[in-house]
Amino acid sequence: MGSGIWLGGVRFETAKVPQARKEAALVMRTKVRDLEHHVARLSLMNQALWELIRDRLKLTDADLEGMARDVDLRDGVQDGEITDGAVQCPTCGRISNSKHHKCLYCGQEFAKPIMG
């Protein structure tokens, strides 16, 4: 009789998914799996680094949270993310891109991101 369901003279065909769509879905699943692995590894390494630094330098979790807040606020928005956006110069008040390490107008150096 073929694929599908037969019900009272009505036939429902099973949907056929094009091969290209199946391959794209497989690629996306693989990328997501790889990203999840990468994030898990980065989380592990960050935790290990923090514990090493905390113990060697006698810092506290509050010190880390305070620094994270300060870094987060560099773009003017406390949103838990580092963004490449506008930064207001503390000296002249003019706006520069956060990718620059100093004010384009007055030369005031900004705090340089270590990994940005």
**The pLDDT of residue 4:** 56
Angle at 11 between CA 3 and CA 20, to 5 degrees: 50
Q: The tokens of 66 are what?
A: 């305070």
Spatial distance between the Cα atoms of 2 and 62, rounded to a whole number of angstroms: 67
Lowest mean pLDDT among 9-18, 22-31, 77-86, 97-106: 9-18
Alpha helices in the chain (DSSP H): 19-57, 61-72
**The pLDDT of residue 50:** 96
**The pLDDT of residue 20:** 86
Lowest mean pLDDT among 4-8, 21-25, 56-60, 88-92: 4-8
**The pLDDT of residue 35:** 96
Say whether pLDDT at 60 is over 70: yes
pTM of full prediction above 0.75: no
